[in-house]
Amino acid sequence: MEYVNPIISGFYPDPSICRVGDDFYLVNSSFEYFPGIPVFHSKDLINWEQTGHCISRPGQLALRQGVPNCVGIYAPTIRYNDGIFYVISTNVAYGSKDEGNFIVWTDDPYGEWSDPIFIDLPGIDSSLFFDDDGKVYYTGAFDNGIFMSELEFSYKYDENGKVVDISCKTVSEKKFIWYGTGGNDPEGPHIYKINGWYYLLISEGGTEFCHMITVARSRNIWGEYESCPRNPVFSNRSTSLPIKGTGHMDIVCDQYGDWWGVCLANRPITYPFKHNLGRETFLVPVEWDDKDWPVIGRNGLLDERISSDRKLHEGVMQKSQTDEGKHFHDEFDGDALKKDWNFIYNTTSKYAALDKTKGLLLYGTKEPIISSGEIAWVGYRQKHHEFMAETHIDFANMEDGSEAGFTIYMNNKHHYELFTSVLDGERWLMFRRRIGSLIREDRISILADDSIYMRLEALKGENGENIYCFSYKENGEWLEAGEGEADYLTTEVGGRFTGNYIALYASGDGKDCRNAVRFDMFDYIGV
């Protein structure tokens, strides 16, 4: 069979994976978005279902407001040992509450995860390794190198022998074990024990177009580690391949003895290279040469289409490539938001609520959409370069000066939106483009009705350029409202570590709104 990369499209970077029996579990970075650390499950590595999030309760972990695209939850690692799932990660918060490396755990990856257990060790990209002798080791990236410390877990059990609490402490000093091969930013370390070797897999070269994977090994976990003579063992740098920025890999052995790697990469939409989906999750086969060094992908390269004759994929169909797999629909009629939705920073119930008969209710906060504070915003990741999304908004009770609408959003300084606004008692349909400090607002028409259908499309323009096009429905006909270039909503122009969201939002005029606007449907179809 042939599968197509990415296996998880859109902003799902820094994948980490583990296997329990016939089941695979995967987690990703989430940065400033909440709920944080999405968790996925698969039986075959190419079809993934989201089970939930590790950070799902507002009081579980405080996310830093005010600095989008570069703070929040970095590079989680998921591991399983003796009935317990562990996820270790870093909350980068620049000195504010809950900053640092932490562990959450569960015995049910479909359920809730624990409150964070903070680890007094520096750096980012933390990882856990459970050795055969019961010892546990921490690796992290710090001060341009990879260091290790030994940890000790303590467990509290109930009367039935079930783990109800875990604590953790360091039992050794940190030791730097490798500085990589000379590329900048050695990070993303993972340790594996295979055939008597301890392998250390890391990323170098930064997280953009020079990203690469290097590997070293030792017979002793503390080293010394020898570098693979073929380093970098994996990178698409300086190639014409459509996938760029390959790095931050984790590997896993399937139940048939075959090895696989999951990694991040990006898919540019233009040249010079710019990408707007964020860094996505890709899958690549791993072999071993006669010297017991890994051979990753096609001689170290990542292809978009990969043929697999491995037993794991016998009779498997990749659902994400079907029309059904590219379609997401929500009428907001459940007890809780679907797992596909995110807020910015920690959310509270004061500005977002579900009503089974009315849909999603958003109460605009005093913060405008250009703010880096708490805004009433609910977003769905853009997962395809070309797509169509629609929503229906009821704004009958909007207050003077407030607004609500439909946005394509990179961050608070780079976004386009079609929205309704009440100005001097009149309800206007308006279109806004913000690119850095440049803001343009166009008044389209005065609205007579209390509700409106809005559409957003990502498509190719007449000259082949990538554009976002907004339209609205009037008298049964779709009318164009405005458009903006996709190039300005890319990581290389306006962002850093995240990708674009399609979002529903509301805001007040310097005050919190007493009345809600109502969204009763959302539809997304990728191309």
- Residues 114 and 3: their CA atoms lie apart, in Å, by 35
Of residues 78, 66, 58, 76, the one with CA closest to residue 32 = 66
From 14, 44, 204, 390, active-site residue: 14
Give me the catalytic one of 32, 187, 390, 417: 187
Instruction: Map residue 483 onto helix, strand or coil.
Output: strand
Q: Kindly state the DSSP code that residue 487 receives in the 8-state scheme.
A: G
212 close to 246: Cβ distance less than 8 angstroms: yes
Task: Give CA–CA dist 296/235, Å, rounded.
Answer: 9
Expressed in angstroms, the distance from the first to the final Cα of the chain is 22
CA distances from 242 to 85, 203, 318, 370, 412 (A): 35, 20, 20, 33, 29
From the list 277, 331, 268, the residue with the least C-alpha distance to 501 is: 277
Could you tell me if 500 and 492 are in contact, meaning their C-beta atoms sit under 8 angstroms apart? no
Secondary structure letter of residue 274 according to DSSP: B
Beta strands in 382-447 (DSSP E): 387-394, 403-411, 414-423, 426-435, 438-446
Measuring CA to CA, how many Å separate 58 from each of 109, 115, 367? 19, 11, 19
Number of other CB atoms surrounding residue 336 within 10 Å: 7
335 is catalytic: no
Q: Are 66 and 54 within 8 A, CB to CB?
A: no
User: CA nearest 480: which of 393, 403, 418?
Assistant: 418
Q: Which residues pair with 436 in a beta bridge?
A: none
**Phi then psi dihedrals of residue 324, to 5 deg:** -65, -40
**CA–CA separation, 285 and 460 (whole Å):** 33
Annotation says 14 is catalytic? yes
Name the token pair of 123.
Answer: 């750096």
**Which residues are CB-contacts of 408 (< 8 A; sequence separation ≥ 6)?**
382, 415, 416, 417, 456, 458, 468, 484, 489, 500, 501, 502, 503
What amino acid positions are annotated as catalytic residues? Answer: 14, 187
